[in-house]
Amino acid sequence: MKTIISSIAIYFMMFHFCFAQKQTLKLSSEFINNQLEASAAQYKYLIAEIPEGKFPKTFEKGEQKFSNSSWWCSGFYPGTLLYLFEATQNAEFEKKALSKLKDLEKEQYNKGTHDLGFMLFCSFGNALRLTGDSASYEPILKTGAESLISRFNPTTKTIRSWDHNTWKFPVIIDNMMNLEFLMQLAKTTGNSKYADIAITHANSTMKNHFRKDYSSFHVIDYDPETGAVLAKQTAQGAADGSAWARGQAWGLYGYTMMYRETKDKAYLKQAKNIANYILNSPNLPDDLIPYWDFDKDKIPADSKMYSRKDLRDASAAAVMASALLELSQYTKGKESAKYLHAGETMLKNLSSESYFAKGGENGGYLLKHSVGALPLNSEVDVPLTYADYYYVEALVRYKRMLSGEPVIKI
């Protein structure tokens, strides 16, 4: 009987594998490998620029901008180095990444931020995956996960995002990106509480963050005592009612990941609806690199943002491309082809001279033309460390697809 069951299981695995292989991949191995090699060459320049104990943020007005480990982006640089090591097998990148992790270790105790998924999972999570050194990295990840769930409120059924401003209990759509950390820790430790909190947060976000057209608000403020929604606002988008581009990307990526981890079809449906909002938007440019906000045309002419309303956001495109490549694996037929083609188009155009920097330029960063927070006049039309991370991640995912491997390796 076991033999029969095993044979059936193998059959369905092979069927799924063969289905995945039927996808027509339009980008060549040569193209992907060339971009990975060019990225590796560029990052050798960036490596030389970074002081001890510091992490790259951006390159602005001809000057390098660095952060301490407590900045929410600190995990992206070592994470990118680890992806480059995975793709090129150049041991220099692994060595530099693992060395930089020593400066990041203390953030496992940081209970003042929700961004520990970005900070720890993109860095130590990739290190564990590639080295298998569970003794070194699992304790750090476990402590970091405990720090993250200390921000969970069972009344609001969400993980608190920020501790600043006048909000009572703000939750931002970005927080969906930290749930992968918890889902993986549930598997690593065998403790389901991490997954339970991630699922609860994802469900609350799905209920409260999205409009009828499946665009997302940026910030939802909750009453921590009752769980009631107090306000639906933005901090980095054009207006409270607008669709900030990177926010849509975070949602797409987050629900695609949650479907992978749970196989809950509600998450797949949500991911597809977000993808369709993005790809069907009349405000999405032909090259599929979005403007920083999908509602940028609603900005009043007397607004300080008006003159720069047409800026693109390469960081949003990089996140979208990586997510769409994965989403194409969980869908079929024309739907799968649509998501795959969109991801390929974004990846190809991000790799063009319009967005991919020439060697030795752009401060050593890969992508030009990202927007951090235009309303705050912060990191506007500059390279950003997380844009590079998700761009390289998308390249690595596509390289796996070309090799017939699973698009995700955990």
335-367 per-position pLDDT tens digit: 999 999 999 999 999 999 999 999 999 999 999
Residue 170 lies in a domain: no
Domain count, the chain: 1
pLDDT digits (tens, 9 = 90+) for 126-155: 999 999 999 999 999 999 999 999 999 999
Quote the CA–CA distance of 151 and 363 in Å, as a whole number: 36
What's the alpha-carbon Rg for the chain, to the nearest Å? 20
Residue 264 lies in a domain: no
User: Which pLDDT belongs to residue 6?
Assistant: 40
User: Which pLDDT belongs to residue 21?
Assistant: 46
Q: Is 382 helix (H, G, I), strand (E, B) or coil?
A: strand
Q: Which pLDDT band, with edges at 50, 70 and 90, does 334 fall under?
A: very high
pLDDT higher than 60, residue 10: no
Nearest to 244 by CA among 272, 207, 281, 269: 281
> Do 368 and 383 contact (CB within 8 A), yes or no?
yes
Other C-beta atoms closer than 10 Å to the C-beta of 247 total 27
Minimum mean pLDDT range among 20-34, 40-54, 221-235, 282-296: 20-34
Measure Cα distances from 166 to 16, 71, 169, 246, 247 in Å.
50, 21, 9, 23, 21
Domain that holds residue 117: 54-150
pLDDT digits (tens, 9 = 90+) for 293-332: 999 999 999 999 999 999 999 999 999 999 999 999 999 9
User: Which pLDDT belongs to residue 398?
Assistant: 98
pLDDT > 90 in the chain, percent: 93
Residue 155 lies in a domain: no
User: Which pLDDT belongs to residue 23?
Assistant: 79
Nearest to 56 by CA among 377, 386, 378, 381: 386
Residue with tokens 């569970």: 134
> Do 82 and 93 contact (CB within 8 A), yes or no?
yes
User: Which pLDDT belongs to residue 5?
Assistant: 37
User: Which pLDDT belongs to residue 157?
Assistant: 98
Mean pLDDT of the chain: 95
Contacting residues for 62 by C-beta, under 8 A, at least 6 apart: none
Contacting residues for 1 by C-beta, under 8 A, at least 6 apart: none
Residue 324 lies in a domain: no
User: Which pLDDT belongs to residue 17?
Assistant: 44
Residue type, 301: A
Residue 99 lies in a domain: yes
Q: Which pLDDT band, with edges at 50, 70 and 90, does 22 fall under?
A: low
| CB burial string 302-315: b at 16+ within 10 A, e below | eeebeebbebbbbb
pLDDT digits (tens, 9 = 90+) for 65-115: 999 999 999 999 999 999 999 999 999 999 999 999 999 999 999 999 999
Q: Which pLDDT band, with edges at 50, 70 and 90, does 410 fall under?
A: confident
Question: Catalytic site residues?
Answer: 115, 174
Q: Find the DSSP H helices in 126-282.
A: 126-131, 134-149, 179-189, 193-208, 245-262, 265-280
User: Which pLDDT belongs to residue 204?
Assistant: 98
Residue 322 lies in a domain: no
Instruction: Report the DSSP beta bridge partners of residue 312.
Output: 291
pLDDT digits (tens, 9 = 90+) for 396-407: 999 999 999 999
pLDDT higher than 90, residue 198: yes
Nearest to 349 by CA among 381, 374, 320, 371: 320
Residue 145 lies in a domain: yes
pLDDT digits (tens, 9 = 90+) for 204-250: 999 999 999 999 999 999 999 999 999 999 999 999 999 999 999 99
pLDDT higher than 50, residue 277: yes
pLDDT higher than 50, residue 9: no
- pTM (predicted TM-score): 0.95
Residue 224 lies in a domain: no
